[in-house]
Chain A
Amino acid sequence: MNTVLSRANSLFAFSLSVMAALTFGCFITTAFKDRRVPVRVHVSRIMLKNVEDFTGPRERSDLGFITFDVTADLENIFDWNVKQLFLYLSAEYSTKNNALNQVVLWDKIILRGDNPKLLLKDMKSKYFFFDDGNGLKGNRNVTLTLSWNVVPNAGILPLVTGSGHVSIPFPDTYEITKSYY
């Protein structure tokens, strides 16, 4: 073999080793970092309906409508090893049927380079807040939290919940006249 090939070979091997070391460095320097920040969630409107649910095993299920505000400053989370943050607002509650329910109401993707300061007002939920049954009616304790999934350039994929949550009560009666504003 001539020297061009062996040089190309060693160059290739060297660059692979360097890239592997860099990737490992990215991972190890951010593996144990605390990715929590305080967030503020506020709910301005709650409405409850009971509608036909074709996707469940029963005729009618509870359907909740929530209008909320979210404030958070995520700037400190972004570092050299964070590619994207997948934010999601989830509602957690328990009912007679199920000990634990979690429903994601809204989500957002923030890429590195996007504005990391979150200041959203009067947001409507993106996904239908269907309960598995009729457990939202009169439910006093539905907790909304904002969490995020940190997607790194290389390394661990942690799920982090922001500190700061709000508990809301659902009404005891169903809304039958109004449509979702």
Chain B
Amino acid sequence: MRKFTLPSFSKDIQQEYCSPYISLDTAPPNASDGKDQKVQQENNDLSFLQLLLWKGLIVATGSKSPMVVVLGGSTEPAFHRGDLLFLTNFQKDPIRAGEIVVFKVEGRDIPRVHRVIQVHEKDKGNVKFLTKGDNNEVDDRGTNLSNKEGQNWLEKKDVVGRARGFLPYIGMVTIIMNDYPKFKYALLAVMGAYVILKRES
């Protein structure tokens, strides 16, 4: 699965994310999940409890994707590819300079993880802001291209969540599973063989 990268300024690398968790295919698909998941959804015999925990986490954090995996390099050296970020998205939290936000640009369904560098707030709720990846030379105005014209400023509705916590390396498993589907099938085959061939002792 090749990732699509835009023609870019000097070091601008597109930062994408994918949800590390998978949902039961019997759950009714809702519109936001379809757009958020960049990776294919799999079947799995997950327990009901795990689904409950995942949905509970979505409600508790207020974000549709409370855990995301960093895929690109534009926030190095803070976060590298394969790191896991925990997000919250409480509406009453104001957007302030220096926060790390995961946001989506209109017209593109690949979210990015960048830092807020400018905030202009007219009154409560009416706010626009600008972001820039730590590892990029310029801010995101040149690269936030939508179908119509460049989207210069971001608004609260574009935000998926704010990064509050961090775990290194854990997301590599998800990346390997999605980039090398053969590995996934091989793993399932080995697990199946183990179950079949195991001897009760």
Contact = CB atoms under 8 A, between A and B. Distances in A.
Interface of A: 1, 23, 55-56, 83-84, 86, 88, 90, 97-104, 109, 111, 127, 132, 147, 149, 151-157, 159
Interface of B: 77-79, 96-100, 115, 117-123, 128, 134, 139, 141, 152, 163-168, 194, 197-199
B120 A98 contact: yes
A16 to B, nearest CB: 11
Given A103-B97, A153-B168, A84 B78 contact: yes
B45 to A, nearest CB: 21
Nearest to A88: B98
Given A84-B78, A98-B122, A99-B122, A157 B168 contact: no
A86 B134 contact: yes
A103 B167 contact: no
Interface of A is mostly: strand
Nearest to A153: B168
A147 B167 CA distance: 23
A151 B117 contact: no
A132 B120 contact: yes
A154 B166 CA distance: 6
Given A23-B167, A99-B121, A99-B122, A159 B96 contact: yes
A103 B132 CA distance: 12
B97 A90 contact: yes
A88 B97 contact: yes
A83 to B, nearest CB: 8
A71 B177 CA distance: 47
B77 A99 contact: no
Given A90-B97, A147-B98, A149-B100, A102 B166 contact: no
8 contacts: A98-B122, A101-B118, A102-B97, A104-B97, A132-B128, A153-B168, A154-B167, A157-B166
A55 B164 CA distance: 30
Contacts of B139: 127
A85 B123 CA distance: 31
A101 B121 contact: yes
A151 B75 CA distance: 11
Contact of A109 (B100, B134, B163): B134
Contacts of A132: 120, 128
A157 B115 CA distance: 13
A152 B79 CA distance: 10
Given A1-B194, A88-B98, A151-B78, 8 more contacts: A86-B115, A88-B117, A101-B121, A102-B97, A103-B97, A103-B117, A109-B77, A149-B115
Contacts of B128: 132
Contacts of B165: 155-157
Contacts of A83: 78
B123 A103 contact: no
B120 A55 contact: no
Contact of B120 (A1, A101, A155): A101
Contact of B152 (A55, A127, A152, A156): A55
